Amino acid sequence: MNPENPRLAGIRLPDGRHVSLERDEFDATLVTLVLDGHEQSQLDPTDASRLPYEYVRRIGSVLDLAAPPGAPVTALHLGAGALTIPRYLAATRPGSAQTVVELDGALLRFVLEQLPLRDTPELLVGDARAELSRLSGREFDVVVVDVFSGGEVPPHLSEPGFFRSVAALLVPAGVVVVNAPVRVGAAARELTGLRAALPHVAAFGAPSVLAARLAGNAVLVGSGQPFGPEWVAALRAAGPHPASVELYSSAEPPA
């Protein structure tokens, strides 16, 4: 590969945006999905268990505790990117039944053509909230919410009603895992929506981000079951570090 031309593949999407897959500048084993100049996802095509982005590694740490090690799960992914998390679950929990919802079908096709999966999940193209109605009656062990548009989470995907629809799809001991952006001086708005939908919520991330002293990504976890001290300790130990876990009691009203 020419180090001055790290692009592996690229196309112009029907809406005019440009998407490409590019080698990482510092680690040539990593591939980054870039959409209109903004990094969207990163993965190692030779090792799906490797999660380079910090917040994605935190999501992986939560999923590692969602069931006994190696046990398959039923998983719903709202937002696809480069399918990094579905690849991770396929590698670490073989036999998992996975469903992926992605708004941009052309982007999804590009990713699958360039970086195919051995076990392709069920694919649904459409708005995440609208597609939830098609899934009514089904149950999932985990639901991963990682949806951005123009660097922002669409407002209708952070409201209590949205998270109530997500919660309705969980098995009794299931968890919903949310990538939530945090800005300086303000908690993630997804926290309020998630707390309105589920009685037990945890926020996982760097202490400075959870305290809103620095901007970054928090990983929120919601469940109908309480998080025990062993779960909290295991999550903190899993990292990445520094790692903090904040619990929100169902007895506390949302902020």
**Cα(125)–Cα(110) distance, integer angstroms:** 13
Sheet architecture: strand order including 18-23: 7-12, 18-23, 31-35, 38-43
Spell out a b/e string for 201-217, using b for 16 or more CB atoms within 10 Å of the CB, else e. Answer: bbbbbbeebbebeeebb
pLDDT of residue 2: 39
Question: Which tens digit of pLDDT belongs to each residue from 6-64?
Answer: 668 888 888 888 989 999 888 989 999 998 888 889 999 999 999 999 999 999 999 99
Strand 122-125, strand 38-43: pairing: unpaired
- Quick one: how far is CA 132 from the chain centroid? 16
pLDDT of residue 6: 66
Dihedral sign, CA of 212, 166, 193, 124? positive
pLDDT of residue 149: 60
Question: Which tens digit of pLDDT belongs to each residue from 56-100?
Answer: 999 999 999 999 999 999 999 999 889 999 999 999 999 999 999
pTM (predicted TM-score): 0.91
CA distances, 47 to each of 30, 90, 99, 112 (Å): 10, 11, 21, 16
**Cα(80)–Cα(41) distance, integer angstroms:** 9
**Cα(201)–Cα(183) distance, integer angstroms:** 20
Q: Count CA atoms closer than 13 A to 11's CA, side-chain side.
A: 11
What percent of the chain is predicted at pLDDT more than 70?
A: 93
Domains of the chain as residue ranges with CATH: 47-248 (3.40.50.150)
